[in-house]
Amino acid sequence: MSTPAESAVAPQAAIGSRSGERARRITEIAFRVRELGIVLALALLIVVTGILEPRFIGAGSLRNLALNAAIIAILAVGQTLVILTRNIDISVGSILGLSAFMAGSLLSNDPGLPIPLVIALGMGLGGACGLLNGVLVTFGRVPALVVTLGTLYIFRGLAFLWTDGRQVNAETLPDRFLNLGTDSLLGVPILVLFALVVVLVVGQCLRNLRFGREFYAIGSNPEAARLAGIRTDRRVNTAFVISGALAGLGGVLFTARFGTVDATAGTGYELTVVAAAVVGGVAIFGGSGSVYGAALGALLLGSITSALIVLRVDAFWQMAAIGALLVLAIAIDRFVSLRLEAALRQRSSRRATG
Amino acid sequence: MSQLAEPQPGVAQDDAPILELRDAVKSYGAVRALRHGTIALRSGEVRALVGENGAGKSTLVKLLAGVIRRDGGEMLVDGEVVDFHAPPDARAAGIAVIYQEPTLFPDLSVAENVVMGRHPLKGGRRIDRRAMHDEVQDLLDRLGVRLDAERPVRGLSIADQQIVEIAKALSFEARVLIMDEPTAALSGPEVERLFGVVRALRDRGAAVLFISHRLEEVFEICSTVTVMRDGEVVFAGDTADLTTDELVRRMVGRELTALFPKLDSEVGPPVLRVERLTREGVFTDVSFEVRAGEIVALAGLVGAGRSEVARAIFGIDKPDAGAVHVGAKRLPAGRPLAAMRAGIGFVPEDRRQQGLVMDHSIQRNVTLTRLKALATFGLLRGVAERSLAAEWAKRLQLKYHRLDDPVAFLSGGNQQKVVLAKWLATDPKVLIVDEPTRGIDVGTKAEVHRLLSELAQKGLAVLMVSSELPEVLGMADRVLVMHEGRITGELSRAEADEESVMRAATGQVVVAA
């Protein structure tokens, strides 16, 4: 039933609880491995690239890696909430575009606007877009993939209507806003601080609040969630609103970082964001995963792209590498969860017979 | 902390019931699922709820659980009239339902499953994980089971999942525990453990409603029993005053209706031979044969493994052992196409999902099995398709407007005829029909029966899976009864009556043919 080493540690009397503890250890390791694995892959990537091209591990370069990943990480946090509830939001790139252009045009018209207000407006606009998604999914009973595919085009179309071919240039924006994208606080870029705050706040809420646990419950078994008295529609709506609001925040930060914004800002981001969450171990069918994993996934994807650019790899191979990583991540997940399930089942059947 | 937690020995039986249902009525459309639902559950009582398939047990349970709302009658909790709008209402009243397949969150820990939505909190509305763990581990320990509160539910056996459900019920101080066939998926030792828990709950003053098809369990664990038949409660009393035979009689006692015009037919040589067919954990060692011109019914209670046997014969599921022969030919396992070619037709239980393409026209559905024969160079010939469909529509007296109409427009009985036509068009030697008249109105039912009877008379071998005893007794030349994956009885037409079938179906006696 157990290895000699373990028997020596624990007295025979505690067989039942010990096998239970082992089951717990297996799952804990499996989940840690998920996030640990990304950290390891990241370290490996940076070291190998650094050996091949020493410029890659300069302080400025690593800072750039974090900067590049920050906006995607913020969006991936929102995406994680949505995916946890067994839905998906692929309209986030378009929401980011809308919010980015709004922030840019507001500030170039009135450079005196307080920045917190601009951020609040961006998040408000994004939240409203998210609410539309949520309402269509929960009240319209339309699958989230279809709803957000539709709103992906609608929001992007609105951005084109609004910009009417114009673009916002960095020269027209106030410096204190652009500094947001370049300045550091205690050596950490402000953009990265934003991402860290979002990841930590949402991560803590998901782990430690009843409200947060309900997202997991809904994705794990919607029917059981309803029977447990959870207002599932309301929670799913909340997930979409938060995802939208974070995409709105991402839009404002996008403008601060790049300065130049037109109607195409953030095109294609939705795929990177979903990929980041999945690579980060968020189960695409809901119920498990963490925002920490999703943020790490964003960092890993961004770093791979940077590494391949530094190594002057063809753009086609960059895409292929990201694709391969996605497939690999899903394959590993599948493998780990199958092994995990088998291991857990074995424990309980052994305990039942033993 | 709860009535369950505090031992209350010697609870008087004449207390007001915790939960009472009086003359409840529930209809689904034109079907009256429940006509006279009266039941009372008292503290310290384990009451059995028994009845045939479709007797209305599930409807009664759903009413008590707040899943559906009654059309008439009244419900009382502690003597006060109540009305449940949704499952949480029933839970708030202290009623917990444990379904055969527990509804849990596989990705979350046992502890979280128990306290979901009611996590213990500490400062800042944060979840107190230590308190949650201690509370749930304490509950599990009190239930006397070795389960770790922190492990995920994924991978737990059904028996352990039920324990988690019971722990959940305890944690919100449930006083009434309704268990819907909890033992159906459990092994012997697991059943014993469950009964230990149930007895402990009873001794602490809970009321338990125990639904089971296993009568020996009813006598072992229940002090009182309520019997339902045809949507009505027909008996309520103490199990001590009853024998198994008396209980069975109360479950079935109804007149056989003259709905079944079975024609006598000449029985020929065996056409379908099933030898020691086994599918691990589903059915074991199933052997029988069906002769030309014979209708053989496969009877038994829901979950006995009848449909699964039918599916394995046709090759939808691959059996682990055993063989199926049609005539002299042995069928390869798990190949429906080979079964079709060998001359088996299969009318599945769920015609809407498995038997028909609902959006397609009547004629397309009828000719679906014959597409190759009707096509020239891979293109369907419309005229041939239409004439074949029209011919079968006439032979089966199908009531339709136009052959182009989607089958979804037809009534249940006529849809069933389309499925039959589809298979008869292949000119089969063996026809397997699974619940041929489920959800079909009485008049059309008789037509389907007449049709099957005529087909048998013309030499077709028919294997009919049916949960309706009158249909089994009225139609079958021979009745095979299954109980928990095994054939427990083979009865000739003369031997088969409601009691003998029911006895075999509940695993009472093994009848030799």
- In tens, the pLDDT along B237-286 reads 999 888 887 888 888 765 444 456 667 777 889 999 999 999 888 899 99
The C-alpha atoms of residue B112 and residue A185 are separated, in whole angstroms, by 40
ipTM exceeding cut-off 0.85 for this assembly: no
CA distance A8 to chain B (A): 21
In our burial notation (b when 16+ CB lie closer than 10 A, e otherwise), range A112-127 reads: eeebeebbebbbebbb
Comparing A353 with B414, the larger pLDDT belongs to: B414
Out of A78-87, B210-219, B314-323, give the one with best mean pLDDT.
A78-87
The counts of H helices and E strands in chain B are 17, 24
B209-233 mean pLDDT: 88
State yes or no: pLDDT of B100 exceeds 50.
yes
B206 neighbors B173 (Cβ within 8 angstroms): no
> What residue of A is the nearest CA neighbor of B66?
A227
What pLDDT score was predicted for residue A212?
93
Q: B107, A287: Cβ pair inside 8 Å?
A: yes
- A11 pLDDT band, cuts 50/70/90, is very low
Chain B residues with CB-CB distance to A345 below 8 A:
155, 157
A253 close to B142: Cβ distance less than 8 angstroms? no
So what's the pLDDT on residue A270?
93
Per-residue pLDDT at A352: 45
Between strands A188-189 and A184-185, the pairing is antiparallel
Q: How far is B101 from chain A (nearest CA, A)?
A: 11
pLDDT score of A12 more than 70: no
pLDDT surpassing 60 at residue B501:
yes
What per-residue confidence (pLDDT) applies to A283? Answer: 86
> What is the distance between the alpha carbons of residues A129 and A248, in angstroms, rounded to a whole number?
9
The more confidently predicted of residues B158 and B324 is: B324
Q: Do B146 and A341 touch (CB under 8 A)?
A: no
Residue in chain A closest to B150 (alpha carbons) equals: A24
Contacts of B91 in chain A (CB under 8 A): 229
Q: Is B55 left (phi over 0), alpha (psi -120 to 50) or beta?
A: alpha
Q: Is there a contact between B105 and A210 if contact means CB atoms under 8 Å apart?
A: no
Task: Give the pair of three-digit tokens for residue B455.
Answer: 């087909």
Q: Which residue has the tokens 């899976």?
A: B465
Q: What is the mean pLDDT of residues A131-143?
A: 94
**Chain B residues with CB-CB distance to A216 below 8 A:** 105, 107-108
Chain B residue with minimal CA distance to A213?
B116
A143-157, A300-314, B399-413: segment of lowest average pLDDT? B399-413
Spell out the residues 6+ positions from residue B469 whose beta carbon is closer than 8 angstroms to its own: B52, B252, B299, B498, B501, B502
Contact between B103 and A287 using a beta-carbon 8 Å cutoff = no
State pTM to two decimals: 0.72
Element (H, E) at A182: none
Chain B contact present for A27, CB below 8 A: yes
Sign for the CA dihedral angle at A23, A26, A30, A31 comes to: positive
Cα nearest neighbour of B120 on chain A: A210
Output the pLDDT for position A196. 95
Cα dihedral A137/A141/A142/A148 (nearest 10): 0
Element (H, E) at B451: helix B442-457
Cβ–Cβ below 8 Å for A24 and B126:
no
pLDDT at B466: 87
Distance, CA of A281 to CA of A274 (rounded, Å) = 11
- What pLDDT band is residue B172 in, cutting at 50, 70 and 90? confident
Which residue on chain B is closest to A286 by alpha carbon? Answer: B107
Helices A315-353 and A269-279: angle between axes, nearest 10 degrees: 30
Residues of B in contact with A22 (CB under 8 A): none
DSSP B231-299: TEEEEEEEGGG--HHHHHHHHH--PPPS---PPP----SEEEEEEEEEETTTEEEEEEEEETT-EEEEE
Longest dimension (CA), chain B: 82
- Per the CB < 8 A criterion, the answer to whether A183 and A192 are in contact is no
Which residues 277-336 on chain B approach chain A with CB closer than 8 angstroms? Answer: none
Nearest chain A Cα to B161, which residue? A348
Q: What angle do CA A247, A252, A254 make, to 5 degrees?
A: 85
Contacts of B454 (CB under 8 A, 6+ apart): B263
Among B64, B20, B21, smallest CA distance to B42 is for B20
d(CA B260, CA B265): 15
d(CA B313, CA A304): 54
Q: Using a CB-CB distance cutoff of 8 angstroms, which residues of chain B are in contact with residue A218?
A: none
Mean pLDDT value of segment A35-62:
83
A229 with B157: Cβ contact below 8 A = no
3-state secondary structure (DSSP) of residue B5: coil
Least confident of A217-221, B438-442, B463-467: B438-442
Q: What is the mean pLDDT of residues A248-268?
A: 92
Which residues are B28's β-sheet partners?
B31
Cβ(A254)–Cβ(A195) below 8 Å: no
pLDDT in tens, B56-70: 888 888 889 888 888
pLDDT digits (tens, 9 = 90+) for B349-403: 777 677 787 788 888 888 887 776 777 777 777 788 888 888 888 877 787 778 8
> How confident is the prediction for chain B on average, in pLDDT?
83
Burial string for B194-212 (b: 16+ CB within 10 Å, else e) reads bbebbeebbebbbbbbbbb
Assign A143 a pLDDT band (cuts: 50, 70, 90): very high
Q: Is B117 in the A-facing interface, judged by CB distances under 8 Å?
A: yes
| pLDDT range class, residue B8, cuts 50, 70, 90 | very low
What residues pair up with B490 in beta bridges, in sequence order? B480
Predicted confidence at residue B449, as pLDDT, reads 84
Question: If you count residue pairs, one on A and one on B, with CB atoms under 8 Å apart, how many are there?
Answer: 99
Please list the residues that pair with B225 across neighbouring strands: B48, B237
Question: Over pLDDT 90: what percentage of chain A?
Answer: 48
Q: How far apart are CA A154 and CA A234, in angstroms?
A: 24
Residue B416: pLDDT band (50, 70, 90) is: confident
Residue A7 above 50 pLDDT?
no
What is the share, in percent, of chain B residues with pLDDT greater than 70?
91
Q: In terms of Cα–Cα distance, which of B465, B510, B513 is closest to B297?
A: B465
Using a CB-CB distance cutoff of 8 angstroms, which residues of chain A are in contact with residue B147? 20
Q: Which residue has the higher pLDDT, B252 or A54?
A: A54
Residue range A187-236, pLDDT digits in tens: 889 999 999 999 999 999 999 999 999 999 999 999 889 888 889 999 99
- Predicted confidence (pLDDT) at residue A43 exceeds the cutoff of 60: yes
Tell me the H-state helices in A259-314: 269-279, 291-310
User: What pLDDT, on the 0 to 100 scale, is given for residue A28?
Assistant: 60
Contact B156 A230 (CB under 8 A): no
Q: What's the CA gap between B184 and B156, in Å, rounded?
A: 16
pLDDT at A24 over 70: no
pLDDT of residue B54: 67
pLDDT tens-digit series, residues A108-122: 999 889 999 999 999
Query: Residue B357: in which H helix or E strand, if any?
Result: none
Q: Please tell me the distance from the alpha carbon of residue A65 to that of residue A62, in angstroms, as a whole number.
A: 5
CB-based contacts of B109, cutoff 8 Å, min separation 6:
B149, B150, B151, B152, B153
Range picked from A258-267, B184-193, B501-510 for highest mean pLDDT = A258-267
How far is B104 from B230, CA to CA, in rounded Å?
32
Contact yes or no for A220 and B121 at CB 8 A: no
Contact A104, A255 (CB under 8 A): yes
Rounded distance, CA B282 to CA B278, Å?
8
Cα(B315)–Cα(B317) distance, integer angstroms: 5
Q: What is the pLDDT of residue B478?
A: 92
Question: Which pair of tokens denotes residue B413?
Answer: 């009985």
- In order of A26, B121, B152, B158, B487, the CA distances from A232 in angstroms are 31, 21, 22, 26, 45
To which residue do tokens 């007449």 refer? B450
Among B133, B157, B35, B103, CA closest to A348: B157
Contact A287 B105 (CB under 8 A): yes
Region of B56 please: left (phi>0), alpha (psi -120 to 50) or beta: left
Residues of chain B with pLDDT > 90, as a percent, come to 20
Residue B171, φ and ψ in degrees, nearest 5: -70, -25
A238 has a pLDDT exceeding 60: yes
Assess contact for B235 and B219: CB atoms under 8 A. no
Residue A32's pLDDT is 60
pLDDT average, residue stretch A66-73: 92
pLDDT at A31: 57
Q: How far apart are CA A337 and CA A123, in angstroms?
A: 36
Q: Whole-angstrom Cα distance, residue B424 to residue B418? A: 10
Candidate from A97-106, A147-156, A276-285, B262-271 with smallest mean pLDDT = B262-271
Q: Beta-strand (E) ranges in chain A?
A: 184-185, 188-189
